[in-house]
Structure 1
Amino acid sequence: MKSVKALLAALSVMTLLAACAPEVGSEAWCKEMKEKPKGDWTANEAADYTKHCVFN
């Protein structure tokens, strides 16, 4: 039972942290992506960056 509570607590923390990420296409997101190494971008991130930050 103790491990189930620990698992639920960990999942809750992860959910809260994920909710703090800036919205895709926002100025904060574009700035964050500029600072991230291009080799670490996913294909979707590259497409979103081009769509929202380059051609905006």
Structure 2
Amino acid sequence: MKKFLVLMTAVFVLSACAPEVGSEDWCKEMKDKPKGDWTANEATEYAKSCFMK
């Protein structure tokens, strides 16, 4: 049980490190990511937040 709690805490902490969708850092990260790896939601958000600004 203790290992599970440590693992869940690590996952929670590491997932919080991703930049907020639509932020300038997120736009830079998406620009570096291959376009073929984008999801439809990421492409839509990129167009709204980064391209159409």
**TM-score, normalised relative to structure 2:** 0.92
Give unmatched runs, 5+ long, in structure 1: none
Percent of aligned positions that are identical: 60
Distance across 1 between alignment mates of 2:10 and 2:44? 29
CA RMSD of aligned residues (A): 0.7
Give unmatched runs, 5+ long, in structure 2: none
1:6 corresponds in structure 2 to: 3
Distance across 1 between alignment mates of 2:29 and 2:51? 14
Distance across 2 between alignment mates of 1:5 and 1:40? 36
Q: Work out the number of aligned pairs and report it.
A: 53
Distance across 2 between alignment mates of 1:32 and 1:19? 15
Distance across 2 between alignment mates of 1:26 and 1:39? 21
**TM-score, normalised relative to structure 1:** 0.88
**Displacement, 1:12?**
0.7
1:37 pairs with 2:34: yes
